Structure formats: C-alpha cells, structure tokens
Chain A
Amino acid sequence: GDSVTQMEGPVTLSEEAFLTINCTYTATGYPSLFWYVQYPGEGLQLLLKATKADDKGSNKGFEATYRKETTSFHLEKGSVQVSDSAVYFCALTGNTGGFKTIFGAGTRLFVKA
C-alpha cells in the first residue's frame, strides 16, 4: 500500500541555519503531496502542497518540489527562526487511498537562538 517515510528527528539547528527534512513516498499512481506543521498544543495545519510532478509548493519561506523520478518531497528553508520550532509531517492523498491521507511519522525541529 501507499506509505510515507521521513527522516527521524529531532533535528536541532541554530537560528539562520539551512533546513532540509527528507521525505520519500511509495505510491503507484499520482498522489497529491503535503507538508503539515504542528506547533505545541495545536492541531496539524497545512504548510504547503504540490499536486503534480515538478510542482513546487512554497509558504513562509519553506519550499518542497514534487519529484516523481525519485518519489521525494523534501522540505527546505534557507534560514530558520526560533518560531519554526515544531513537528513537521509529510503526507500524501489520493492514489489507492482515495481521500484518506497517509502521514509520515513526523520530524521534530528545534531551533536555538
């Protein structure tokens, strides 16, 4: 079945460092891909999405590109801030699961001042 694998955390960075969180997926068709972010005490919220191959999603300085050839959707940010400390989830919808979303395990990010 469909699955999402993302790098284990926690990831600890200093403010203004470059961020990459790796995400790969397994799906036979053409799912939509998402990154969600969860701040402490809150529910998950959409950070960005891409719906077809080579699409780039972007929001709040974060970017991710839908790579069909490598089945990847890595999250990047050029300069992280303390306020980016959160848990980040890679996810996919569509393909065999229909409207059910398959989530990765989440990656916790700590940003130090």
Chain B
Amino acid sequence: DAGVIQSPRHEVTEMGQEVTLRCKPISGHDYLFWYRQTMMRGLELLIYFNNNVPIDDSGMPEDRFSAKMPNASFSTLKIQPSEPRDSAVYFCASSSSRGGYSQPQHFGDGTRLSIL
C-alpha cells in the first residue's frame, strides 16, 4: 500500500518567495497533520484536519503560513512570503479514527526546506 506522499522532497528558494508543500494522505484516513521539525524546537504540530476541515491551527507560527485540504486525498501548506527562519523539515502525517485512539499516525518522508 502507498504511504503518505509528500512533494517536493527538497526545496531551496530565496527569501520572500512563495513556497507550497504538498501531501497525499493514505487512502481512507480521515485525519491529516502538518508538522515542522528543527534541531532547536524539535517536532511541532502546525495544524490538523478531520474530514478535510481544519480542527486546530494554533501551531501555525504566523499569518504567512496557511494550509488547505480541498479534498480527502490532497493537502497543501503554503508559506508566503518565506523567511530564512522557516528553514526546517516539514512532515505530513495521516491517521484513521476507525479503531479509536489506538491507531498510529503514518508519516511521509518530509520536505526539507531551505530559505536563503
């Protein structure tokens, strides 16, 4: 079975540019999560969706960040304008509510973002 698919795997861009990260969750999963991982701050939850609806975006650092989930098989995380401090690895994860809280999250391989 295909896992969570993220694209691109690597992104290098200049400060001020718009960055769009993409995620395809596992088919049938109804929860989708976006995380950011850095050495300094560790793994941070940015936002999560249930059935395509944003449930909690309290982790989104500022208005420059936005996320959408137009359908059950696709989500985007956008940064506009980007800044060097946004450099990090961004992970997407999905999970299923079937089976209750025992179901784990499934992570993609991440997008390594570098803002110059």
Interface residues of B in 100-116 (CB under 8 A from A): 100-110
Contact call A43/B91, Cβ cutoff below 8 A: yes
Interface membership of B75, Cβ < 8 A: no
Contact call A49/B102, Cβ cutoff below 8 A: yes
Interface membership of A44, Cβ < 8 A: yes
Interface membership of B45, Cβ < 8 A: yes
Known: A44-B91, A49-B102, A93-B101. A100 touches B45 (CB 8 A): yes
Interface membership of B52, Cβ < 8 A: no
Tier of interface size on chain A:
20 to 34
Contact call A99/B50, Cβ cutoff below 8 A: yes
Known: A43-B109, A105-B42, A106-B42. A99 touches B31 (CB 8 A): yes
Contact call A32/B102, Cβ cutoff below 8 A: yes
Interface membership of B48, Cβ < 8 A: yes
Interface membership of A69, Cβ < 8 A: no
Contact call A43/B110, Cβ cutoff below 8 A: yes
Interface residues of B in 31-47 (CB under 8 A from A): 31, 33, 42-43, 45
CA distance A32 to B104 in the complex (A): 9
Contact call A100/B56, Cβ cutoff below 8 A: yes
Residues of B within 8 A of A61 (CB): none
Residues of B within 8 A of A41 (CB): 109
Contact call B108/A43, Cβ cutoff below 8 A: yes
A47 CB → nearest B CB, Å: 9
